[in-house]
Amino acid sequence: MKPVKVGICGLGTVGSGTFNVLKRNAEEIARRAGRGIEVAQIAQRRPNPHCDTGSTPITADVLAVADNPEIDVVVELIGGYTLARELVLRAIANGKHVVTANKALIAVHGNEIFARAREQGVIVAFEASVAGGIPVIKALREGLAANRINWVAGIINGTGNFILSEMREKGRTFPDVLAEAQALGYAEADPTFDVEGIDAAHKLTILASIAFGIPLQFDKAYTEGITRLTTADVGYAEALGYRIKHLGVARSTAQGIELRVHPTLIPADRLIANVNGVMNAVMVNGDAVGSTLFYGAGAGREPTASAVVADLVDVVRAMTSDPENRVPHLAFQPDALSDHPVLPIESCESAYYLRIQAKDHPGVLAQVASILSARGINIESIMQKEAEEHDGLVPMILITHRVTERHMVEAITALEALDDVIGDVVRIRVEHLN
Ligand code: HSE
């Protein structure tokens, strides 16, 4: 049978990895797919020294690949929203299947892209968009299809996890580690996407839609980054038996879906609390299976290429099948998506870590406890340190039981209004993941 012809758009970190893996493992890939997969065209702005493209035809115009009648599958690896959207929609309009690693594109324009793909009877595959090389989309969409998913929680930004790990383990500075992540090709073109949680929110949006059968709703995700974390809080968390991780949490509740990305204390003995460096991990809790954990490299040249090439194999296997009988893009049949709302952060529930800087006066602890109890907030543990030499203030660290964010915000406002409490109360959410 003739090989399937693929056009790779973008020969950066992931594009070069995809080309190299397709070439190196060509024979095994053909045995799995049932046909060879041949890169018939590449769109690139400049050569990539990590990749010997040989005699493969090259163009500088990505849209030429979408218009090339020879090409069966367009692999979109240029990133961004604008040109990538135009490229993908053009490829679909021309009847081509698409493989993409672009989480921003899928999270923001996925509903439109999937609708067009259905009209044209083509596949849009996007495994590499979430958690790099971990096949978590396939696991959620197919392997866990029996379950009502209760929650998904993941470390889904490799750069952020790399930064937090290096800072905690080696005491390195934030800019120093970020520069290394950029040099290694982990970081987004705009690294604020990594450190402010936007990249993780893109990925969480995709996971939540596949887990709960809801349309993609990136604009409703709550996003908080890692830039304000201090080494003091990392240390106090450790002393209380927790690790701070930048977590994406999607939880199904009777009222709606929680969709939130933020720094989170996790008990230090949980496997996911020990996921370090650029590694990602996603926990999925289903009513039948219980908790599962998927672990692997969340970014990088060949780990991400592994997911892109697996999607290509899937597309080749499914391209001759009847479109109605393929696995739906968002796991649930398109006419069976639910309108269960995404909850605003004020209605989300979690436990909290609070750090209060208080004057060393009698009765302060009683006032704090009274404010919390008046709002039904139960204290799980409390640690009070000695007064600090430079300002005489006493750090008071509390872990609470679960409470709705709205009540916690009210309590923090009341705490900050106390005469004996100085400065802002530090608040970090806590998830026990059990
Ligand atoms: N910037 C992303 C990360 C790349 O660090 O996880 C993979 O999506």
Per-residue three-class SS string for 187-255:
CCCCCHHHHCCHHHHHHHHHHHHHHHCCCCCHHHCEECCCCCCCHHHHHHHHHCCEEEEEEEEEEECCC
Q: CB neighbours of 28 closer than 8 A, spacing ≥ 6? A: none
What spacing in Å lies between the alpha carbon of 195 and ligand 1's midpoint?
Answer: 10
DSSP character string of 36-82: -EEEEEEE-SS--TT---TT--EES-HHHHHH-TT-SEEEE-S-SSH
For residue 174, the surrounding DSSP H or E stretch is: helix 174-183
Q: How far apart are CA 60 and CA 343, in angstroms?
A: 44
Binding-site residues for NADPH: 103
Atom of ligand 1 nearest to the CA of 157: 6
pLDDT in tens, 26-70: 999 999 999 999 999 999 999 999 999 999 999 999 999 999 999
Residue 180 CB-density burial (10 A; 0-12 exposed, 13-18 middle, 19+ buried): middle
How high is the pLDDT of residue 274? Answer: 97
Contact 281, 272 (CB under 8 A): yes
The pLDDT score that the predictor gives to residue 18 is: 98
Q: Are strands 257-267 and 290-297 parallel, antiparallel or unpaired?
A: unpaired
Q: Is 138 annotated in the active site?
A: no
Q: With H, G, I as helix, E, B as strand and everything else as coil, classify residue 316.
A: helix
Q: How confident is the model at residue 391, as a pLDDT?
A: 83
How does strand 58-59 pair with strand 37-43?
A: parallel
Query: Relative to the CA of 203, which ligand 1 atom is closest?
Result: 8
Q: List the catalytic residue out of 96, 203, 220, 245.
A: 203
pTM of the model: 0.97
Q: Looking at the CA of residue 160, tell me the nearest atom of ligand 1.
A: 5
- 181 vs 192: CA distance, rounded Å: 13
Q: CB within 6 Å of ligand 1 — which residues?
A: 132, 157-159, 186-188, 194, 199, 298-299
Report the separation in Å between the CA atom of 308 and the middle of ligand 1, taken as the mean of its atom positions. 14
Token representation of residue 143: 């392997």
Could you tell which of 103, 199, 206, 207 is best to mutate to test the pocket of ligand 1, judged by most ligand atoms within 8 Å of the CB?
A: 199
* Annotated binding-site residue numbers for NADP(+): 9-16
Q: Ligand 1 pocket test: which of 188, 204, 205, 304 has the largest number of ligand atoms within 8 Å of its C-beta?
A: 188
Q: How far is the CA of 191 from the centre of ligand 1 (A)?
A: 9
Report the separation in Å between the CA atom of 353 and the middle of ligand 1, taken as the mean of its atom positions.
27
Q: Give the residue whose CA is nearest to atom 7 of ligand 1.
A: 299
Give the atom of ligand 1 at the shortest distance from the alpha carbon of 299.
7
Residue of 130, 157, 177 to test ligand 1 pocket, by largest number of atoms within 8 Å of CB: 157
pLDDT along the chain (434 residues), means of 10: 97 97 98 98 94 97 98 97 97 98 98 98 98 98 98 97 90 87 89 96 98 98 94 91 97 98 97 96 98 96 97 96 95 97 98 96 94 96 85 93 98 98 97 94
d(CA 426, CA 263): 12
Nearest CA-CA partner of 9 in 105, 144, 99, 82: 99
Classify residue 342 by its DSSP letter.
B
